Amino acid sequence: MSSAIVEEQVVSALVKALGADAVIHEGEALAYFSNDVYRGGAAPKAVVRPADVKALQEAVRICAAAGVAMVPRGGGASYTDAYLLPEGGHVLIDTGALDTIEIDERNAVVTVGAGVTWMALKAALDAKGLRTPFWGPFSGIAATVGGSMSQNTLSHGSTAHGISAQSVLSMDVVLASGEMLSTSASSAMRFYGPDLTGLFTGDCGIFGIKARIRLPLLPVLPHFECLSFAFESFADYHAASRERPWRGWTIPTSASTLPCRKGRSAARKAWARA
């Protein structure tokens, strides 16, 4: 049986299982989904947008049974061609509809669908005076939690708390068989046995499609003070940055290096005392 016939059968099966509104298989939208921020690739055969985790599992089963490549997509701002497939003919899985947010204040854990944007998560947590340690890239208005975990993102909160992968407790991942894998037996801590969670961070979705992510919660600091420093050299700046954790300072924003009037290198940071 030709690959074209197989692809058409897969599209028909996806439409039947997920509904016509959840599957795009013709028109200009396919061209849209074949582009990342800087470059484009070949068009997918279809784009599916599962409404929930069960629909995601069913879509994966259908594609796997037919041997059709699957490529997950978050907010569409990877900058690295992460969801482009040069040869095309794949099924692109848009996780944007997996947008549930479950806040467990008592245990200081939030569980989010892979398609939740960092902006939506921040808005939900702001209302309760909470935050996650890492709280998103500069593109957080569109970037998703699942996409950031797949890309090892760094930005807001990284100086004090590390990259996105360091702020995840566990994940629920749909494997190629359609089965669900929970990466930890504990919902409140990551290192409960082997670190399976780490296996799925920075993987660009190669090992499985993220369905849900659990993150720890911190209280939003009620007060902070901003200070600005200028340094004669990068070595001086580095020495001062190294001293920060020893003095108990936290840095909620990342550093930027700016030129001074006299051509010196200046590093400006917002340093906050808890």
- pLDDT tens-digit readout, 248-262: 665 544 444 444 444
What's the confidence (pLDDT) of residue 2?
57
Evaluate whether 130 touches 121 at the Cβ level (below 8 Å): no
What's the confidence (pLDDT) of residue 208?
95
What's the confidence (pLDDT) of residue 6?
67
CA distance 73 to 95: 6
What's the confidence (pLDDT) of residue 40?
79
Query: What sign has the CA pseudo-torsion 11, 14, 18, 24?
Result: negative
What's the confidence (pLDDT) of residue 268?
39
Q: Is this structure's pTM higher than 0.95?
A: no
| Type and span of the H or E element at 153 | none
Helix, strand, coil percentages, rounded to 5, for the chain: 30, 20, 50
- In a 3-state reduction of DSSP, which class is residue 268? strand
What's the confidence (pLDDT) of residue 250?
59
The low-confidence residues of the chain, meaning pLDDT below 70, are 1-3, 5-6, 248-274
As a whole number, the mean pLDDT across the chain is: 84
What's the confidence (pLDDT) of residue 215?
96
CA distance 235 to 253: 20
**What CA–CA distances, in Å, run from 149 to 22, 44, 207?**
24, 23, 13
What's the confidence (pLDDT) of residue 148?
92
